[in-house]
């Protein structure tokens, strides 16, 4: 029987959609369990069929799906999986969405716009989810959209541990790509030993998606390694321009660090040509060979996900994974 049986017949089950099978396999290996056997396929007209090939009655099920392109297909598949688990009498259903879909649409910029991040949370709840687990939400307040417990994980300890070994802290500055990410950059600066902080002033036309203009650096980066931090990299335009502005301001070199490597075209080309020494992301999303480039470093997120899943299952403390700061 798939899963872990504890005293009182409590059973942990890990189910996965089809978006990122390698991550699912890695998390299962970290938990020392097998994935729930699942049959899933697409009908000719694009509709999705899902059936679990083993009983889930009374189980504590964690449903993992990475929301990569085509994002609407994988979101719908995860919703269908949750519905199937609910109708299969699972005791508790936790949606594990390392990269939360539609997270950037968390507020109305203009009239008659949706708040799609809230809609996604409502859809998960309606489908039957009891709780939600995600990593580095685009805006922390998105946690409030879901009517139930939300475990918001940080990839920062994984990223900072790697970057710390690639820099001389005495000659480093942490740079936020815009003023809105300053708080995260402050935490990075503290983790790297209290290094100086700077940010790139930029302007954005809200009518044109994935376009921003980096203007100037506010803060001291001259002669330093600039660690440019963000939650995600999509088309790479904002980050690539920020790298160029930081180098023009006198930085000796630049390391880019972000949790989610969306890497929509033409991100790989932009990032490989922007002048960054290294671009560091985690594998919350699959990164195929055609999106990889020489400067890219991908760090594993499965150990963090597995530890958090185990803490939730054991009614432990997820906050303790982050030294009480989560």
Output the known binding site for D-ribose 5-phosphate. 204, 230, 234-238
List binding-site positions: 45-47, 104-105, 138, 178, 204, 230, 234-238
Selected catalytic residue, list 108, 125, 202, 291: 202
CA–CA distance, 236 with 254 (Å, rounded to integer): 15
**Burial of 39: CB neighbours in 10 Å, binned 0-12, 13-18, 19+:** exposed
Q: Which parts are annotated binding residues for ATP?
A: 45-47, 104-105
Kindly provide the b/e burial profile for residues 91-112, where b requires at least 16 CB atoms within 10 angstroms of the residue's own CB.
eebbbbbbbbbbbbbbeeeeee
Binding-site positions for Mg(2+) read 138, 178
Cβ neighbours of 2 (radius 10 Å): 20
In sequence order, what DSSP letters do the residues of 264-295 get, joined into one string? -TTHHHHHHHS--SEEEEEBSS---GGG--TT
Q: Any idea what the Cα angle at residue 142 is, between residues 314 and 56, rounded to 5°?
A: 35
Q: Is 138 helix (H, G, I), strand (E, B) or coil?
A: coil
**Angle between the 302-313 and 21-31 helix axes, to the nearest 10 degrees?**
50
Closest C-alpha to 134, from 115, 119, 118, 149: 149
Q: Are 106 and 142 in contact (CB under 8 A)?
A: yes
Give buried/exposed letters for 148-168 (b at 16+ CB in 10 A, else e): eebbbbbbbbbbbebbeeebe
Known catalytic residue: 202? yes
The set of catalytic residues is 202
């Amino acid at each position: 029987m798939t899963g872990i049986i504890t005293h009182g017949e409590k059973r942990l089950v890990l189910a996965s959609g089809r978006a990122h099978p390698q991550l699912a396999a890695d998390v299962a290996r970290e938990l020392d369990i097998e994935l729930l056997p699942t049959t899933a396929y697409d009908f000719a007209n694009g509709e999705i069929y899902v059936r679990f090939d083993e009983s889930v009655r009374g189980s504590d099920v964690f449903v993992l799906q990475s929301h990569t392109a085509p994002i609407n297909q994988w979101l719908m598949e995860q919703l269908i999986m949750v519905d199937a688990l609910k109708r299969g009498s699972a005791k508790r259903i936790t949606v594990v969405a390392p990269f939360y879909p539609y997270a950037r649409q968390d507020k109305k910029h203009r009239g008659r716009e949706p708040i799609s991040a809230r809609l996604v949370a409502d859809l998960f709840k309606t489908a039957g989810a009891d709780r939600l687990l995600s990593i580095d939400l685009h805006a922390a307040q998105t946690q409030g959209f879901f009517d139930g417990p939300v475990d918001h994980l940080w990839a920062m300890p994984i990223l900072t541990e790697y970057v710390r070994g690639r820099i001389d802290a005495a000659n480093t500055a942490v740079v936020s790509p815009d003023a809105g990410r300053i708080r995260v950059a402050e935490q990075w600066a503290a983790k790297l030993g209290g290094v100086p902080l700077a940010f790139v002033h930029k302007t954005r036309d809200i009518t044109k998606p994935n376009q921003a203009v980096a203007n100037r650096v506010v803060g001291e980066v001259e002669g330093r390694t600039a660690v440019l931090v963000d939650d995600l990299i999509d088309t790479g335009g904002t980050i690539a321009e920020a790298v160029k502005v930081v180098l023009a301001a006198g930085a000796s070199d630049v390391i880019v660090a972000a949790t989610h490597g969306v890497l929509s075209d033409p991100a790989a080309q932009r990032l490989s040509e922007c002048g960054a020494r290294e671009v560091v992301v985690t594998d919350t999303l699959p990164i195929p060979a055609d999106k990889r480039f020489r400067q890219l470093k991908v760090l594993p997120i499965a150990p963090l996900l597995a530890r958090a899943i185990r803490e939730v299952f054991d009614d432990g403390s997820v906050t303790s994974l982050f030294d009480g700061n989560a």
